[in-house]
A and B are shown apart, each in its own frame.
Chain A
Amino acid sequence: MDTFKTLVVILMSSVLVNNYVLARFLGICPFLGVSKKLNQAVGMGIAVIFVMLMATAVTWPIQIFVLNKLGLEYTQTIVFILVIAALVQFTEIVLKKFIPSLHKSLGVYLPLITTNCAVLGVTINNMIDGYNFTQSMVSSLGCGLGFLLAMVLFSGVRSVIDERLVPGPFKGLPVTLIAASFVSLAFFGFAGIVDNLFA
């Protein structure tokens, strides 16, 4: 039961409290770039969840069974980014060949994710936090879900701002960032949720 509790806490904290986009500022670029339309935001979000889970499933064993065993921990950054890049390419090729319908909807977003700092960030953070395999997978799922949630919420906000008149210098990015800051403020409300989850 305790294991289950830990997993729920990890999931909730990565989705709501330590939301990767709004609290830790990872993956801001796609968050600002692809949140203009709801369907794009959802597509990107799902693709990110998918890649995060795959990346964690591959990098965790590599770190524990290869790098740590051989004393090559310092090559972590290089190895992880290469693994992620190769994985994304591989996924794209496999999807194109075997599940063309899924490739059609996710395909455009996949290459965009290779250098998304959220993916590299989550794999490295899992190692820093010393999670075991299940915990790492849950934490990645949580981060992905948190990213999706932030994207979907923000695409709604964006659709409203884009129709409004704003003062010249604030047009475009500045007003978007300020709106994002309010969305981020809203997430502060979740701060206590993890501590009181099983109280």
Chain B
Amino acid sequence: MNKESNMSVLLKGLLKENPVFVLILGTCPTLATTTTVIGALGMGLAATAVLICSNAVVSMCRKFIPDTVRIPCYIVIIAGFVTIVEMFMHAFLPEMYELLGVYLALITVNCIILGRAEMYAGKQPVGKSILDGIGMGLGFTIALLAMATIREVFGAGTFAGIPVPFIETHTIDILIKAPGGLMVYGMLIAAVNFITKGKAIKKKDFSCAGCPSAGNCHGGCASAEKEAE
């Protein structure tokens, strides 16, 4: 795994190992915050910031965190950065803070962050972990933006609050409600499967890799399978 170039570490998060559509991590915020493009962007960037910082610190500390208590250590590191991001947002972007509400605090239990700490940052040098954090964070943001664009444009007839002509008067209201989120997500995963011809999806069974506890059940199937390859 050490052989891969820095560029591929950065780029794999965007499509090949996109955390949302391929690794199926972080489903809760993906569904909950994608009703508006602005919300999705805020969520994506907040999670990216936490991911980069936590990846860096986890990687720095990987030599002296005992293996048996690593999960609680990771959670504390992540929760600390989430609190910092939360306070920053409260101070400088109060509207965004209101919009994201409880989901901001819930970045703590976002499986992408714990998953990357466990699968990647806990084993790799600092520089690579930061790149991985940037790549995965951007992949997450792009995926959220894709979902939010579909949902906001067709569901509310606006894009980032700006009305879209024609569609504005022919909206599909259900898309911005809960069922629409699940449906768009399902369709997009199917589309990614179709494009990658099922190659990407084979790697994981979502029963384990897709749960926030992937780290908790000691490595999770996803990392075990990757190690085996």
Interface string of B91-107 (1 = CB under 8 A from A): 00000000001100110
Asked if A102 is an interface residue, CB under 8 A from chain B, the answer is no
Asked if B172 is an interface residue, CB under 8 A from chain A, the answer is no
Contact A178 B186 (CB under 8 A): yes
Residue from A29, A74, A115, A124 within 8 A of B27 (CB atoms): A29
In chain A, what residue has the closest Cβ to B185? A177
Q: Within A152-183, which residues are at the interface with B (CB < 8 Å)?
A: 168-178, 180-182
Asked if B171 is an interface residue, CB under 8 A from chain A, the answer is no
Asked if A25 is an interface residue, CB under 8 A from chain B, the answer is yes
Contact B211 A33 (CB under 8 A): yes
Contact A81 B207 (CB under 8 A): no
Of B1-9, B57-65, B75-83, the segment with at least 4 beta carbons within 8 Å of chain A is: B75-83
Contact B28 A29 (CB under 8 A): yes
Q: Within A30-88, which residues are at the interface with B (CB < 8 Å)?
A: 30, 32-34, 36, 74-78, 81-82, 85
In chain A, what residue has the closest Cβ to B72? A85
User: In the assembled complex, which residues on chain B have CB atoms less than 8 Å from the CB atom of A117?
Assistant: 28, 106, 109-110, 212
Residue from A120, A173, A174 within 8 A of B106 (CB atoms): A120
Residue from A32, A128, A188 within 8 A of B102 (CB atoms): A128
Cβ of B120 to closest chain A Cβ, rounded Å: 17
User: In the assembled complex, which residues on chain A have CB atoms less than 8 Å from the CB atom of B165?
Assistant: none
In chain A, what residue has the closest Cβ to B209? A33
Residue from A32, A74, A188 within 8 A of B87 (CB atoms): A74
Contact B109 A177 (CB under 8 A): no
Contact A81 B198 (CB under 8 A): no
Asked if A99 is an interface residue, CB under 8 A from chain B, the answer is no
User: In the assembled complex, which residues on chain A have CB atoms less than 8 Å from the CB atom of B86?
Assistant: 74, 77
Asked if A28 is an interface residue, CB under 8 A from chain B, the answer is yes
User: In the assembled complex, which residues on chain B have CB atoms less than 8 Å from the CB atom of A193?
Assistant: none
User: In the assembled complex, which residues on chain A have CB atoms less than 8 Å from the CB atom of B186?
Assistant: 170, 173-178, 180-181
Contact A125 B102 (CB under 8 A): yes
User: In the assembled complex, which residues on chain B have CB atoms less than 8 Å from the CB atom of A27?
Assistant: 28
Interface size class of A (residues with CB under 8 A): 35 or more
Q: Within B182-212, which residues are at the interface with A (CB < 8 Å)?
A: 182-183, 185-187, 189-191, 193-194, 198, 201, 206-208, 210-212
User: In the assembled complex, which residues on chain A have CB atoms less than 8 Å from the CB atom of B76?
Assistant: 78, 82
A180 to B183, CA, bound (A): 8
Residue from B31, B183, B193, B217 within 8 A of A28 (CB atoms): B31
In chain B, what residue has the closest Cβ to A108? B217
In chain A, what residue has the closest Cβ to B192? A169
User: In the assembled complex, which residues on chain A have CB atoms less than 8 Å from the CB atom of B27?
Assistant: 25, 28-29, 32
Q: Within B30-85, which residues are at the interface with A (CB < 8 Å)?
A: 31-32, 72, 75-76, 79-80, 82-83
Asked if B24 is an interface residue, CB under 8 A from chain A, the answer is yes
Contact B31 A188 (CB under 8 A): no
Contact B105 A174 (CB under 8 A): no
Contact B206 A124 (CB under 8 A): no
Q: A124-B102, A169-B193, A169-B198 are in contact. Are A115 and B182 (CB under 8 A)?
A: no
Cβ of A192 to closest chain B Cβ, rounded Å: 15
Contact A169 B194 (CB under 8 A): yes
Contact B206 A32 (CB under 8 A): yes
Asked if A184 is an interface residue, CB under 8 A from chain B, the answer is yes
Asked if B15 is an interface residue, CB under 8 A from chain A, the answer is no
In chain A, what residue has the closest Cβ to B174? A185
Contact A181 B183 (CB under 8 A): yes
In chain B, what residue has the closest Cβ to A75? B83
Contact B28 A170 (CB under 8 A): no
8 interchain pairs, CB-CB under 8 A:
A76-B105, A85-B75, A115-B114, A115-B212, A170-B193, A173-B24, A173-B201, A177-B183
- Which residues of B does A touch, CB under 8 Å? 24, 27-29, 31-32, 72, 75-76, 79-80, 82-83, 86-87, 101-102, 105-106, 108-111, 114, 174, 177-183, 185-187, 189-191, 193-194, 198, 201, 206-208, 210-213, 215-217
List of 3 A-B pairs having minimum Cβ-Cβ separation, nearest first: A177-B186, A181-B182, A174-B190
